[in-house]
Structure 1
């Protein structure tokens, strides 16, 4: 079948979306318009074109909601851990091994990678910034080095594979028409090649900037003079010991970590009962405070700090328990999944089964953590609040993907019929596959050229600042181009995923979540993106060659 006007309109929509992403603008409106016009031309009905805007997003939501649910469960778990300060305790032991700049660099990279695999970088970075970055700065690691380590290990290496939560592989695989586990396995290898290469190059760049461990390193960083010309020593000393150091804005994790005391809220009650205004005796006119029996409320005042001490001790005990239980539970899950892949001891978990295990385990841990901290009755409320917060975060982080994915699903024959409202048995055209087939003689069959082409398209999509919004496009291209080049579509989808997430996920563009990394490390975000460019691009080139030659 030859190309129809609908094919050309769809191609124009694809080029429009790519052009808008290159211009660093939001692609939601172009995706909605392209969906409506394409459906209109395909069916000849403007009403169907309008309906397709809703149907395309609905189909995308139904296909991708499992991803939203995993994000919600894991975010809810992080909220439950934060309530008992177990999130801080999980990373605090690593401070003890930061003896110098190089050990601090290694610890930051490893801990960031590990935490970001399970909780995603965006919620993990403030925690790392509050707990580990000051220790790393004190140990002699430059602030820019800390920022680059966090960005490469978390926003890049962990997020580009997303091997535990498998949100990114799920998006790529759905668009490419392959198993999510196949994309995840290749993406894990490529992300490690890219990340390790980038970290080594960053280490070479930092070799002349490491400093001797000293308290003054932290004082300079807190005084805000790290990225600026160094002031005279006397001025620096005066800045570092002045009260203005207390005015440095705390990060969100620091504010969460501040101890909350209720003693001051209860003291006025005792003061009113036993104060001068109560006359002689004081407490005879009203009931004594809870737990108090003396006329001046003394025993009640003594009981307040005792209650606080008991509550603090209980939270401390729960924090210790869950800081061990949660990592061990997820480690056991990973061991189970690995055993399923390489042995016959346990059933193999593929695609949705693995994702369901992650989400279910996270949900169980949320319930147990909430019940342990708040008690069985209050846990009914707090668990719901944690899950609600998780769902809100999931839709804020991923909601923009739905209309974009809907447009690319319209070019897939498996979904186009549902979007256009076709009857059962009525076959819809696969616009994207038809376009690739029509341009077959123009497309080089060389796997290396094909891989680098998809990588560049992924990086262009990442310029929009959202690492996942380009995955439906790169996945669709992988499904269409892979068979032509004699490549596994899963491998090609993983290559496109590398380009899109490393660029837009928060490493190469300053208008992405790289802002969070720059904020917690207090370095200029533009300078951070510029310094990350060479290491990351070198890593992407190497990993793309690995994909083309060995997969």
Structure 2
């Protein structure tokens, strides 16, 4: 078919959004204006065009609300665990096996990856930084090595697959018209390949910098901080400065009052803004007997809550073990359904519903156990409201961006434009790809690397998820032209967007939090991560092009 003015306007808008992301500008306003102009040219009605702005975001919200809800429930669960300090107790036992630099390297990688799969990396980073990083440095791992392994395992491997919560695969799959489970499975494999290559290359770089275990390692690390022009008082102080600089709201008073354990949830998804672990604008009070610029003694066998009531300590121990066990059982059940016929297969929306339902049940049980049945009616509601507020704060800006790309999809364009039932809606993006098919390389390798580069460009503004509607839409349109599954291309684009913008390759992303808790220069951290991560992305993209 012949291209119309609307097609050219839509193409120009796509290029404008890509250019804005490369320039590290917020793309919400360009997406809204692009929706307005495209709808106006399509229909010839300025009233319909204005309505399309609302309808596009509403359509995106209706398609993605399951993602918002699961974020809210998992965030509420993390809040209940923090209230009884079970989150600290989950990671404290790993200190006992951190006997040397290499064992610390392995423990940091595994713990960061596992916790980040269930609670996302950015909320987990201050917790890991406060409890495990001092122990790792004491054991001989250099601070830069600790920062690199946390960034690669958490912000990279865990977030790029997002296999448990499945927010990233859900966004990619919805835009690509593929199954969420298919994108999630491929993304998991690609993330493990990318992370494995990056961790091995990082280990090669660090082999000459490992030290023998000694208390002087920790003293030297803390001494460098104390000698700095602006001493850092705690992980909370670092997080607070980042949050204030980026314009985020102050943390709740009860969070600020807990030095070194603040895990205010912020996730790098907002277009043009990287969200982070937040603290209050003012530093928390220094612990008795500890001067500014030093860590408190690393938590040991006595646990992080030795002054709490015995009942709270007991509940902390129970839920520190119980929550991971419940999630492990859930994953085992899902695996049985996928690979055997013993239980029904859980996939797509059912998998998200299972994760969200399990999180909701755990929230109720934990709140009732901690506060009692009467007070739990109020406390549980507060945790859920906090989770919903966070979900919309973190994901809200994705809606107008997704709405614009949904306008280019014939499946959603009719609803956005308010067409009557039976009227055919244009598929602008597919029409553009079809018209330019003769110019598109038919090589799957070239196509995969092209989508990867688009994903990395979309992540340059410091957001891991806002580029997924773009890479997903392109994958759904380009995949059939080269005989590739759109789910594979969407997973490749997801790797590029999240590894770049999720907090590994750009210094203005949530990598700031990793640098803060490990006390290394963020620019140096991004520079040192570049070669290992890009090498991993090249290997995983080749694997995707040749194996899927």
- TM-score (norm: length of structure 1): 0.86
- Gaps spanning 5+ residues in structure 1: where? 230-243, 260-307
Query: By how many angstroms is 1:249 displaced?
Result: 5.9
Q: Computing the radius of gyration over CA atoms, which structure comes out larger, 1 or 2?
A: 1
Q: Hey, what's the Cα distance between the residues in 2 that align with 1:183 and 1:49?
A: 33
Counterpart in the other structure of 1:537: 534
Match status 1:340 vs 2:337: yes
Moved more, 209-218 or 116-125: 209-218
Q: Hey, what's the Cα distance between the residues in 2 that align with 1:535 and 1:249?
A: 27
Matched-pair contact (CA < 8 Å) for 2:459–2:498: yes
Q: State the superposition RMSD in angstroms.
A: 2.0
Matched-pair contact (CA < 8 Å) for 2:160–2:187: yes
Counterpart in the other structure of 1:191: 191
Q: Hey, what's the Cα distance between the residues in 2 that align with 1:76 and 1:199?
A: 32
- The within-5 A match list for 1:398-437 is 398-437=395-434
Counterpart in the other structure of 1:19: 19
Match status 1:68 vs 2:62: no
Matched-pair contact (CA < 8 Å) for 2:235–2:516: no
Matched-pair contact (CA < 8 Å) for 1:143–1:226: no
Counterpart in the other structure of 2:484: 487
Q: Hey, what's the Cα distance between the residues in 1 that align with 2:96 and 2:361?
A: 32
Query: By how many angstroms is 1:257 displaced?
Result: 6.3
Q: Hey, what's the Cα distance between the residues in 1 that align with 2:256 and 2:413?
A: 48
Counterpart in the other structure of 2:7: 7
Counterpart in the other structure of 1:368: 365
Counterpart in the other structure of 1:503: 500
Matched-pair contact (CA < 8 Å) for 2:125–2:513: yes
Counterpart in the other structure of 1:393: 390
- What is the total number of aligned residue pairs between the two structures? 489
Query: By how many angstroms is 1:254 displaced?
Result: 9.2
Deviations 1:210-237 (A, max 9, x none): 11111121122223349989xxxxxxxx
Counterpart in the other structure of 1:256: 258
Counterpart in the other structure of 2:124: 124
Q: Hey, what's the Cα distance between the residues in 2 that align with 1:29 and 1:344?
A: 49
Secondary structure, in 3 states, of the residue corresponding to 1:165?
coil
Matched-pair contact (CA < 8 Å) for 1:67–1:167: yes
Secondary structure, in 3 states, of the residue corresponding to 1:509?
coil
- TM-score (norm: length of structure 2): 0.87
Moved more, 439-448 or 516-525: 516-525
Matched-pair contact (CA < 8 Å) for 2:17–2:30: yes
Distance 1:248 1:341, change over 3 A: closer
Query: By how many angstroms is 1:46 displaced?
Result: 1.1
Matched-pair contact (CA < 8 Å) for 1:191–1:498: yes
Deviations 1:271-292 (A, max 9, x none): xxxxxxxxxxxxxxxxxxxxxx
Q: Hey, what's the Cα distance between the residues in 2 that align with 1:17 and 1:188?
A: 28
Matched-pair contact (CA < 8 Å) for 1:172–1:471: yes
Distance 1:376 1:504, change over 3 A: same
Matched-pair contact (CA < 8 Å) for 2:225–2:519: no
Q: Hey, what's the Cα distance between the residues in 2 that align with 1:67 and 1:542?
A: 30
Matched-pair contact (CA < 8 Å) for 1:130–1:254: no
Query: By how many angstroms is 1:256 displaced?
Result: 2.9
Matched-pair contact (CA < 8 Å) for 2:337–2:343: yes
Q: Hey, what's the Cα distance between the residues in 1 that align with 2:223 and 2:81?
A: 31
Query: By how many angstroms is 1:47 displaced?
Result: 1.3
